[in-house]
């Protein structure tokens, strides 16, 4: 059964149709890649699934509940408490240390600083970042910064991790490292991953692949 699914989503930005009938589903613990050419609607589909955008029509369900019908306040709680995010350029806060960046989602959820930092720290050994805890994130290499962003996305133990071109800014070695760490960490804690990528080598790490062309989806590789 699906943990998260989209059914026949349609969404236009003004006169520009971005989604014209997009559907997908992923089960608990599955890694699903959304692939397709630039401008095909991948990010828009991801944003609808994550409750960042509301489709004009169609349905988004998480754990049986209609995400697209929730009000903005309930959607922001869902994003904060239940979902995790990793973006293309990490989007770390450069003035904060690496461990403060990882702790940030916990702090925003009301966890005290000491407890949040204690939960953040084990991620450094786990992701090969030992010794970088106190480094300002503006001083990290691209691959290090993206692993910190990955830790930040997973530190709340989200049910679903949304990753939009998580390796897009990295060379292929650093990109493969991030993909391996992301897939392993997600499997270990049963987190479903919805990954947007235009790179076939990155998509190959996923259990299943959905391709988007001109706002319409088709299944390339079923997840099960």
| Binding footprint of ligand ADP on the chain (CB under 6 A) | 13, 16, 18, 36, 38-44, 88, 164-165
Taking the complex as a whole, the smallest distance from the CB of residue 120 to ligand ADP amounts, in Å, to 26
Q: Which is nearer to ligand ADP, 15 or 130 (CB)?
A: 15
Q: What are phi and psi of 115, to 5 degrees?
A: -70, -40
Over the range 39-52, which residues count as b (16 or more CB within 10 Å of their CB) and which as e? Answer: ebbbbbbbbbbbbb
Q: Which is nearer to ligand ADP, 100 or 165 (CB)?
A: 165
165: its two tokens: 């071109």
93: its two tokens: 């806060």
Q: Which is nearer to ligand ADP, 53 or 127 (CB)?
A: 53
Taking the complex as a whole, the smallest distance from the CB of residue 4 to ligand ADP amounts, in Å, to 18
Q: Which is nearer to ligand ADP, 39 or 222 (CB)?
A: 39
Taking the complex as a whole, the smallest distance from the CB of residue 196 to ligand ADP amounts, in Å, to 6
Q: Which is nearer to ligand ADP, 39 or 190 (CB)?
A: 39
Asked if 179 and 167 count as a contact pair (C-beta separation under 8 A), the reply is yes
What's the rounded Cα separation, in Å, for the pair 150 and 120?
A: 11
What's the rounded Cα separation, in Å, for the pair 31 and 191?
A: 9
Taking the complex as a whole, the smallest distance from the CB of residue 163 to ligand ADP amounts, in Å, to 11
Asked if 12 and 60 count as a contact pair (C-beta separation under 8 A), the reply is no
Taking the complex as a whole, the smallest distance from the CB of residue 11 to ligand ADP amounts, in Å, to 8
What's the rounded Cα separation, in Å, for the pair 49 and 163?
A: 12
């Amino acid at each position: 059964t699906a943990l998260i699914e989209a059914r026949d989503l349609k969404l236009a930005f003004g006169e520009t149709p971005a989604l014209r009938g997009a559907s997908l589903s992923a089960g608990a613990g599955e890694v699903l890649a959304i692939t397709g050419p630039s401008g095909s609607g991948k990010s828009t589909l991801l944003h609808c699934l994550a409750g960042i955008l509301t489709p004009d029509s169609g349905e988004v369900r998480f754990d049986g509940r209609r995400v697209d019908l929730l009000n903005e306040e309930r959607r922001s709680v869902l994003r904060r408490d239940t979902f995790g995010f990793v973006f293309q350029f990490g989007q770390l806060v450069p003035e904060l240390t690496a461990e403060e960046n990882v702790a940030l989602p916990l702090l925003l959820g009301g966890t005290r600083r000491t407890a949040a930092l204690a939960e953040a720290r084990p991620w450094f050994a786990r992701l090969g970042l030992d010794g970088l805890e106190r480094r300002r994130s503006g001083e990290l290499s691209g691959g290090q910064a993206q692993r910190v962003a990955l830790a930040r996305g997973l530190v709340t133990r989200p049910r679903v991790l949304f990753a939009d071109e998580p390796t897009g800014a990295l060379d292929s070695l650093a990109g493969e490292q991030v993909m391996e760490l992301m897939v392993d960490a997600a499997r270990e804690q049963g987190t479903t991953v919805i990954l947007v990528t235009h790179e076939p080598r990155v998509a190959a790490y996923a259990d299943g692949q959905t391709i988007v062309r001109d706002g319409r989806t088709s299944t390339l590789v079923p997840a099960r």
